[in-house]
Amino acid sequence: MGAASMASMQGKRILLGLTGGVAAYKSAELTRLFIKAGADVRVVMTEAATRFIGPVTLQALSGQAVYTDLWDPRIADNMAHIELSRDRDLMLVAPATADFLAKIANGLADDLLSTLCIARRCLLLVAPAMNVEMWSSPATQRNVALLRADGVTVLGPAAGDQACGETGMGRMLEPEQIFAELMSQFAPRLLRGKRVLVTAGPTFEPIDPVRGITNISSGKMGYAVAQAAVEAGAEVTLVSGGTSLVTPAGVTRIDVQSARDMRDAVMTRVKKCDVFIAVAAVADYHVVGAKSQKIKRGDGNLTLELAPNPDILAEVAKLPRAPFCVGFAAETEKLHEYAQAKRKKKKIPLLAANLAQHAFGQDTNALTLFDDKGEHVLPRAPKIVLARQLLAHVAAMLRR
C-alpha cells in the first residue's frame, strides 16, 4: 500500500471554530496536531470561547491571526463572514456548545462563527462538548438531528467524566480522535462507484425459542470495515448478526440471526457486488431439529446434534462471476500457518488474519494480510484505522 493512497493532511485548509466550553483547551492540542501534519489552520473564536482560552495561544499554535469579531477591521471590505471560509477545504467547530448547535441548526447568525457557518460552501463538522443532561435534552437531540439532516457531520461526543463532576455522554472527543476523523474526510475516494458487501458480528444458532449457540464477536471490526468502505466512496451493504452497534452513516444494514439466514441475505445481494468482505464470525454448525417449544429440564444428559453450516465465503468465491473476496481468520495459535491454509482452501485473493484473543470485542486490533504477493503487517491500531488500511489494500489489488 503506497503512502500516496492514504489520506494526507498536508496543505489542507481548515477553519477551526471554538465556542465557549471547558473543552476549548483540547483544541489547542488539536491545532498543534493539524499544524504538525502540514495543515493550514485559521482559528475563529466566539466571545465565550475567549473566556476559556486566550486567542494568543491559538495564534501562536496556528501561526496565523485569530478572528473573533464580525466587524474585524483587518478585513478590508468588511466581509469577514464570507471571506474567512471561502478558501477553506473544511470547517470544524470544536468544542461546539449546546447553544451553538441550537443556533446553527436554526440558521441564526449573530456572531462571526455562526455567520461563517451559514455562509460557508465547504463541509462542516462539529464536535459537541457539554454536560450529560444538556446533551440528552430533547432540544439538543432535535438540533443534532436537524444538523445531520442538513449534512453536517457530528463527531462524538464520548462518554466519561465531565468537568462539572458528573459522568456520562457529552465529553468532547479527544484531539487524536478528531484528527483521525478529519483524516478520513480527506481520504481519497479509492472505491468510488464500487459496491461492497460486508458481513459482521456473530451468528446465533437456535436450540429452542429462548436458547442458542453464539460467539463473542461484537461486530466492531465488520462495522469499521463498512464505515471505511463508505468513506472510500463505495455503496455499502452490511449483513449483520446481533450487535448493539450503531449503523455507520450511509450504510444499508440487513439484520440476520443464523448462519443460514446470513447465507441467504448474502447470496441474494452478492451478484450485484464488486467486493465481498466476510468479517462475521459465522457458526460452523447449527443444531439439528431445533425445538419450537422451550426444552424442559430432565434428569439425564441432553445431547445436541450439530450439522455443518454452509460456508458463505467459499460459496461466494466459487460463483462464476465472483466479486473480489476478502476473508478474515481469527486464530488462537499458529496464525500464519492456519491463515495461509484458509486462504488456499477458500480460494480467495486476500485474507486478513488476527489473533482471536486480541480481536474479539476489542476496540483495537492488529492484522496480517495474506495475498498472492506474501504478507503485509498492519500493526495494532483502532479498528477503524485498520479497516481504512485494509480497504486501501483492496483498492490497490483491484487496480492491478
Give the binding site for ligand PMT (CB under 6 A): 199, 201, 217-222, 259, 278-282, 284, 309, 311-313, 327-330, 342, 354, 359-361
Strands 251-255, 167-171: parallel, antiparallel or unpaired by DSSP?
unpaired
Which of 117, 164, 273, 325 is an active site residue? 164
CB of 203 to ligand PMT, least distance (A): 8
Minimum CB separation of residue 360 from ligand PMT in Å reads 5
Instruction: For residues 19 and 113, give the distance between their C-alpha atoms in angstroms, rounded to a whole number.
Output: 9
> Closest approach of Cβ 248 to ligand PMT, in Å?
14
User: Which CB atom, from 9 or from 200, has the smaller least distance to ligand PMT?
Assistant: 200
Please identify, using beta-carbon distances, which residue of 217 and 227 lies nearer to ligand PMT. Answer: 217
Residue 24 or 282: the one with the smaller Cβ distance to ligand PMT is 282
The distance of closest approach from Cβ of residue 329 to ligand PMT in the complex, given in angstroms and rounded to an integer, is: 5
The distance of closest approach from Cβ of residue 362 to ligand PMT in the complex, given in angstroms and rounded to an integer, is 7
DSSP H or E run through 206 = strand 205-208
Considering only CA atoms, which of 118, 89, 67 is closest in space to residue 13? 89
Q: Which is nearer to ligand PMT, 162 or 203 (CB)?
A: 203
For residue 41, give every residue at least 6 positions away whose Cβ sits within 8 Å of its Cβ, in sequence order, or none. 14, 16, 31, 34, 35, 62, 64
Nearer to ligand PMT, 178 or 351 (CB): 351
Q: Which of 379, 324, 367, 351 is nearest to 221 (CA)?
A: 367
Would you state the cell numbers that stand for residue 170, as one nine-digit string?
457529552
The answer to whether 260 and 300 have CB atoms below 8 angstroms apart is no
CA distance 199 to 368: 19
Q: Is 209 left (phi over 0), alpha (psi -120 to 50) or beta?
A: alpha
Q: CB of residue 262 vs ligand PMT: minimum separation in angstroms?
A: 8
How far apart CA 378 and CA 380 sit, in angstroms, is 7
| CB of 161 or CB of 363, closer to ligand PMT | 363
| Residue 273 designated active-site | no
Task: Note whether 327 and 280 are within 8 A (CB).
Answer: no
Contact 249, 277 (CB under 8 A): no
Which residues are catalytic, by number? Answer: 164
